[in-house]
């Protein structure tokens, strides 16, 4: 699946699924724009891409800041001349519950990055993607189809349900322009997400989650990146408005 001469934006590219995805696209020949707030981590990912003979565009940006998010697409197009693929991967989990009284505060933070930014970037990218007949892949979660085992997970689960719905609605609207929109819905992944979001001891949490997965282990970021690459490729040219689950059989056990 060659992406030679293709231009790809990856948000949340400094670690986890985003970093693995950016590296995979670069291996397949794409020019990649790396977006995340942590410049040091972005530089480390960029160094790996440079080792492949590609020079990525580094865009340090706090996407929760509307002004900073608003420059991502224009910076990419100004630098590379076009845009072929948008990977909306950036996301957070902030815990809050109704009875604890902090559900609304957590909801506002989570929805801003997990949903509002996706809508903003999709809106800005759409005219350029229409020119290249490009596509969008949103990184959602199996949380979109579940109710949280813990009440404090409510904001995150709601945000991913909203993201799936936006994926379908935007896929329908953009179909007339030739732009496809899909989502990848991972189960728990063995990466930095738990640590980055300060959700607890990652080794303990991931071990417990692996017990729930039917296959008995969690996916790696690189495996999620493989599915993202497929959806962005011509091999998926007839796929739009779909949510691809990759969860090691997590949903099978409810």
Residues with a catalytic annotation lie at 156
Contact between 139 and 229 (Cβ < 8 Å): no
Q: Say which DSSP state 189 is in.
A: B
Buried b (16+ CB within 10 A) or exposed e, 177-208: eebbbbbbbbbbbbbbbbebeebeebeeebee
- Torsion, CA 239, CA 111, CA 217, CA 145, rounded to 10: -60
Contact between 115 and 11 (Cβ < 8 Å): no
Contact between 125 and 73 (Cβ < 8 Å): yes
Q: Kindly report the backbone phi and psi dihedral angles of residue 10, in degrees, each rounded to the nearest multiple of 5, phi listed first.
A: -125, 115
Q: Kindly report the backbone phi and psi dihedral angles of residue 99, in degrees, each rounded to the nearest multiple of 5, phi listed first.
A: -70, -25
């Amino acid at each position: 699946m060659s992406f030679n001469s293709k231009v790809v934006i990856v948000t949340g590219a400094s670690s986890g699924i985003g970093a693995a995805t950016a590296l995979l696209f670069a291996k397949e020949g794409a020019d990649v724009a790396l977006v995340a707030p942590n410049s040091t981590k972005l530089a480390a990912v960029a160094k790996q891409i440079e080792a492949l003979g590609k020079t990525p565009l580094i865009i340090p940006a706090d996407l929760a800041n509307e002004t900073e998010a608003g420059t991502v697409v224009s910076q990419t197009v100004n630098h590379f001349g076009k845009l072929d693929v948008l990977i909306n991967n950036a996301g957070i989990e902030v815990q809050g519950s109704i009875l604890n009284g902090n559900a609304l505060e957590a909801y506002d933070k989570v929805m801003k990055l997990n949903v509002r930014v996706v809508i903003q970037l999709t809106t800005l990218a759409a005219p350029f993607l229409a020119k290249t007949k490009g596509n969008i892949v949103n990184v959602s979660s199996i949380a979109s189809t579940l109710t949280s085992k813990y009440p404090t997970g409510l904001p995150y689960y709601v945000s991913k349900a909203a993201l799936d719905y936006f994926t379908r609605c935007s896929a329908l609207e953009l179909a007339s322009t030739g732009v496809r929109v899909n989502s990848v819905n991972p189960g728990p992944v063995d990466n930095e997400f738990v640590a980055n979001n300060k959700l607890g001891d990652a080794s303990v949490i991931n071990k417990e989650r692996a017990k729930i997965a039917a296959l008995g282990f969690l996916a790696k970021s690189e495996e999620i990146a493989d599915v993202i690459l497929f959806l962005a490729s011509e091999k998926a040219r007839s796929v739009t408005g779909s949510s691809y689950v990759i969860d090691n059989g997590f949903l099978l056990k409810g």
